[in-house]
Amino acid sequence: MSSMGLSGTFTLGDRTVKRLGYGAMQLAGPGVFGPPGDRGAALAVLREAAARGVNHIDTSDFYGPHITNQLIREALHPYPDDLVLVTKVSARRGPDGAWIPAFSPEELIQAVHDNLRNLDLDVLEVVNLRAMFDVHGPAEGSIEAPLNVLAELRRKGLVRHIGLSNVTPAQIEQGRRIVPIVCVQNQYNVAQRADDALVDDLARDSIPYVPFFPLGGFTPLRSAILSAVAARLDASPMQVALAWLLQRSPNILLIPGTASLAHLRENLAAAELVLPEDALGELDALAGA
């Protein structure tokens, strides 16, 4: 399959997107804070992604802060008709780059308006509410109050669709009772498989699952096995990790990020990589390694 096909499509909200998208987080400076080291290269990566058919870009106004949204606007506005920009809210940045929960109604409303302004949009296609009870991973806690704020902004026409990030199955159930949830974004990869059942549950309801950190949380043994499989297939470990996710379930949408044109092209080429059964068996065993 050509990377222009980007391994098929899936529905996100009421839009159709290619399953291999792009995450803008790494376009900001070190620690996702401050401007990029090479602004021209950051703009070139965004333009190349769009030129190669990517039509799902994940961002947030707390990346930078403001930096990635401003780069997206500069690189791609006026936006292609098929481009879906997905953002997230519920955090702000301290002067030292710290990630600070921003769950109050005032902070959430401000965040939506900041995203609208910096992206130069009248309405945000998808806004993910990121649960911040634990910045390192999902933790239980009620998301009703912040989600009601976003639901009201949806009723006012500033937001079309709402998703969830860094959440537990219980929070997803709670969220779906309040407003339609069009995507879930959590950490998941070939080695970190805690959300296996959730991926399948969402697939049954045709809700996209958007994993982040495709190479996150690997032990040295897992990395060695992944590298060995990749070498045998004449691919990079990242390509194999992305291809595994694409083959894992049709509702998985990928948003690998990079600030490098070479890495962008390598990531997009993962859409062409079909993993044979023996490789899939080795990779599936990584979760227990």
What are the structural domains of the chain?
A: 9-218+252-258 (3.20.20.100)
| Tokens 């009421």, residue located | 14
Q: Which amino acid is at 281?
A: G
Residue 15 to residue 161: CA distance in whole angstroms? 10
Spell out the residues 6+ positions from residue 76 whose beta carbon is closer than 8 angstroms to its own: 46, 47, 50, 83
Residue 40 makes CB contacts below 8 A (sequence gap 6+) with none
Rounded CA-CA distance 229/235 in Å is 8
pLDDT number for residue 132: 85
Cα distances from 14 to residues 17, 161, 173, 211, in angstroms, run 10, 9, 21, 20
DSSP secondary structure, the chain, as one string = --TTTTT-EEEETTEEEESB-EE-GGGSSGGGBS--S-HHHHHHHHHHHHHTT--EEE--TTTBTTHHHHHHHHHHPSPPTT-EEEEEESEEE-TT--EEE--SHHHHHHHHHHHHHHHT-SSEEEEEEEP-SSTTS------HHHHHHHHHHHHTTSEEEEEEES--HHHHHHHHHHS-EEEEEEE--SS--TTHHHHHHHHHTT--EEEE-TTTT--HHHHHHHHHHHHHTTS-HHHHHHHHHHHH-TTB-B--B-S-HHHHHHHHHGGG----HHHHHHHHGGGG-
pLDDT at 2: 38
- What whole-number distance in Å separates Cα of residue 210 and Cα of residue 245? 10
Bridging pattern class, strands 91-93 and 99-101: antiparallel
10-residue block means of pLDDT along the chain (289 residues)? 66 97 97 96 98 97 98 98 97 95 97 98 98 85 97 98 97 98 97 97 98 93 96 98 97 97 97 96 92
Residue 5: per-residue pLDDT: 66
Contact 229/259 with Cβ under 8 angstroms?
no
Provide the phi-psi class of 7: left if phi over 0, else alpha when psi is between -120 and 50, else beta. Answer: left
Q: Tell me what percent of the residues of the chain surpass a pLDDT of 90.
A: 94
Note the pTM of the prediction, 2 decimals: 0.96
Q: Chain-centre distance of CA 39, in angstroms? A: 22
Give the pLDDT of residue 7.
Answer: 80
What is the predicted pLDDT for the residue at 4? 45
In this predicted model, what pLDDT tens digit does every residue of 70-121 receive, in sequence order?
999 999 999 999 999 999 999 999 999 999 999 999 999 999 999 999 999 9
The question of whether 79 is a catalytic residue gets the answer no
- Separation between Cα atoms, residue 159 and residue 115, nearest integer Å: 11
Which one of 63, 79, 188, 209 is the catalytic residue? Answer: 63
Are 279 and 47 a contacting pair, CB within 8 Å?
A: no
Which residue, chain included where needed, has tokens 């190479």?
A: 215
